[in-house]
Every structure is written in structure tokens, then in C-alpha cells.
Amino acid sequence: MNDYSTIHRPVLLEACVDLVAPAATRPGSVIVDCTLGLAGHATAFLKAAPNATLIGIDRDSEALGLATERMEQEGLADRFVPVHAAFDAFEEVMAQRGISGVDAVFMDLGLSSLQIDETERGFSYSHDAPLDMRMDAQQTLTAQQILAQYDERELTHIFKVYGEERYARNIARAIVQRRDEQAFVSSGQLTQIVDDVVPQANRPSGNPAKRVFQALRIEVNGELDKLQRTLPQIANRLNVHGRLVVESYHSLEDKTVKSFMNQGLVADVPAGLPVIPEDNMPFFTALTRGAIKADEEEIARNSRSASVRLRAVELNRQLPQRWRKRFEQDSKADTNRHRTRRG
């Protein structure tokens, strides 16, 4: 029997429960955890919402198996439905189960403890491991393939945009030059080349390879593309007074979430209009004032919470039809630059 308390520390757990559980009090309520992981948040949601069923989505089959085991240990398995899928299959997952509306949707966009702590998966720069970084082992594209196949321009782009790496071009150029001599197959090789390129005087705190690893992980798994497609799918399935609660750990993720939520937090009219038509009134109500951050005590207890930004909104009325149509279009947009490569 696994002791999950020793391997998984949910970030901002109490705050997340306080935001999710009040939306799922009625009998038959449905909570969706789009990033189930080891079910640290999910088990807490079900304990706080005894009338709810939780659908747990994860693209990592190993995590799903462990989460299911945990639910059985906690006596919650009868209200838990595990689903192996990426979260941008949200609409399909709901349709397959005949669920027309949900009461709360939660997303924790950080890496799970399982992915970080299992060194053979290559997510961490702290251990030498194969350059894989796939959250779903069934997909084809790996970090190793990216480093072998992408040209200097493409590598520069992902390091600069997804990693916000100051020396993106220098690192990309060094990778392209050296890969002809030796293929990049391990995280240690990548860490070494970043260490060689980034000047000692201009390094950020921590390991200088952190941002490059982050950028590769985002590219391998199409994380930002999937997030942009998923948020509108969620909005279209929320019941009135349903809630969307999201934890982000990267500025681009948080910017995407904030931008999406802001669409429904302001009146959709030209500035200065004296009377706002009912159909143009905001349809979201903010449940957080800006983003909730971890305090010093939380960070000391769990260092992975240092960069978290927690935002939440509630659907305050029936979603206007024109927004529903717009969100349907947004959810189908192909934002993936390397769709054919990722597979």
C-alpha cells in the first residue's frame, strides 16, 4: 500500500478546496479534475463535497493507476471516474459520458510529483536520464527528437518563448553545432551544454538549465496549445454557478488563463456606452482577487509552490449564445505549430 502523503504534496490545497467544493453541494454534482496526477487535490474535493462525483482526466496511464488505487484506499472509488486522455479532449470526454453540464473544473498545470520524481522520465535536470519528457508514453515526439530534428530557428523560438531564456539563440546554435558530432540522448548532456553556454555572471538563481528543460517539456507535450483549446471547452460545459479553478506555474500559462477569464469578467461593449444590454453583461464573477500565491510557510513546506498562481471564476448566468459559438470555434483552433511532428 502506497503512502501518498510522502510522495505528493498538493499545492494550495485548502484554497483549492474552498474554491471548488461550494459549487458541488447538490446531489449529482460533477467535479472534473483535468490534471489528476496522484489525486491529491481530487481526494480532498470528494471529501469536502460528499454529494459529488469526480471525473479525473490524465494523459499519464501510470498516474491514473496510482490515483485509482488511492481512491480505493480512501473509500472514494464509488464516486470516482478515471479517464485516460489529454485535457484538451474535455468536450469529447463529457460527450461520451452523456454529461451536459459540470459544476466545478480544476486544473493544476504543474508537473506531478510522479513525473518529477521518476528520474527515468527525463523531466528533471537534477538527474541524468533519457531525454523523453512525454507525459503520455503513447505519443511519438520526445525531447530527444526535438533536439535532433528542430533547426536553430525553431529551437531558439521554443527556448525564448516557452523558457523565457535570455541566451536562447546561443544555446540553440551550440546544440545544432554539437549534435552532428554526438546525439543528445540524456538530460546530463543537455545540462552540460547549457552550463557551457550561459555566462557565470548572468545566470539566474538555481540550475541554468531550468528554463531550457521547461521549454522542451512544454513543446513535447503541446501544453500551451492544449490549454488554449481546453478553456473554452470548459466554459461551454459549466452549469450556472459552476466554477473554473486553475493553478499555473509559468508566466505564459498564467497569462493564457488570465486572458481567457477576463473575457467574461468585463462588459462586452464599447467604452462609455451609457446602458449595457443584458446580453453584453459579464458572465464570469471573479472568486480570487487577482491571483493567489503561496505564502512563505507553504513555500517552506513545498518548494514547488513558489511560482504558483491560482485563479478562479464562477459562471454567474447562462452563457450568451454568441460566446458559446465563439468558444466552440476557439476550442477547435489548431494552434499547434508542430502538429505533424508531435503525433
Spatial contact of 214 and 200, defined as CB atoms under 8 Å apart: no
Q: Which residues are annotated as a binding site for S-adenosyl-L-methionine?
A: 39-41, 58, 87, 108, 115
- Of 111-115, 168-172, 188-192, 285-289, least confident by mean pLDDT is 111-115
Q: 0.75 cut: is pTM over it?
A: yes
Sort residue 133 into left (φ over 0), alpha (ψ -120 to 50) or beta: left
pLDDT of residue 230: 97
d(CA 185, CA 190): 8
Residue 233 reports pLDDT greater than 80: yes
Which whole number is the average pLDDT over 154-173?
A: 95
Residue 117 reports pLDDT greater than 70: no
Sort residue 77 into left (φ over 0), alpha (ψ -120 to 50) or beta: alpha
pLDDT of residue 339: 40
28 vs 338: which has the higher pLDDT: 28
Q: Which residues are annotated as a binding site?
A: 39-41, 58, 87, 108, 115
Which whole number is the average pLDDT over 178-206?
A: 86
pLDDT tens-digit map of 238-283: 999 999 999 999 899 999 999 999 999 987 766 767 777 777 789 9
Collapse the DSSP code of 71 into the 3-class scheme (helix H, G, I; strand E, B; otherwise coil) and give the result. helix
d(CA 13, CA 62): 23
Domains of the chain: 4-114+223-342 (3.40.50.150), 119-221 (1.10.150.170)
pLDDT of residue 4: 52
pLDDT interval class at 48 (50, 70, 90): very high
d(CA 49, CA 40): 15
- Look up residue 37 and give its three cell numbers: 496526477
CA–CA distance from 178 to each of 18, 181, 189, 335 (Å)? 51, 5, 11, 31
pLDDT of residue 8: 61
Q: Going by C-beta distance under 8 Å and a sequence separation of 6 or more, which residues neighbour residue 236?
A: 91, 319, 324, 327, 328, 331
pLDDT of residue 128: 76
DSSP annotation of 164: -
d(CA 335, CA 25): 36
Name the residue with cell 518548494. 303
pLDDT interval class at 340 (50, 70, 90): very low
Instruction: Identify each DSSP E strand in 186-329 by its residue range.
Output: 238-248, 284-286, 309-315
The β-bridge relationship of strands 238-248 and 309-315 is antiparallel
pLDDT tens-digit map of 309-324: 999 999 999 999 999 9
Q: Nearest-CA neighbor of 70 among 50, 43, 49, 46? A: 43
pLDDT of residue 112: 55
Spatial contact of 266 and 128, defined as CB atoms under 8 Å apart: no
d(CA 256, CA 11): 20
pLDDT of residue 338: 46
pLDDT of residue 343: 42
Q: Which of 115-129, 188-202, 218-232 has the highest mean pLDDT?
A: 218-232
Which whole number is the average pLDDT over 126-142?
A: 82
Instruction: Identify each DSSP E strand in 125-275 by its residue range.
Output: 238-248
Taking all residues of the chain, what is their mean pLDDT, rounded to a whole number?
88
pLDDT of residue 114: 47
d(CA 46, CA 105): 13
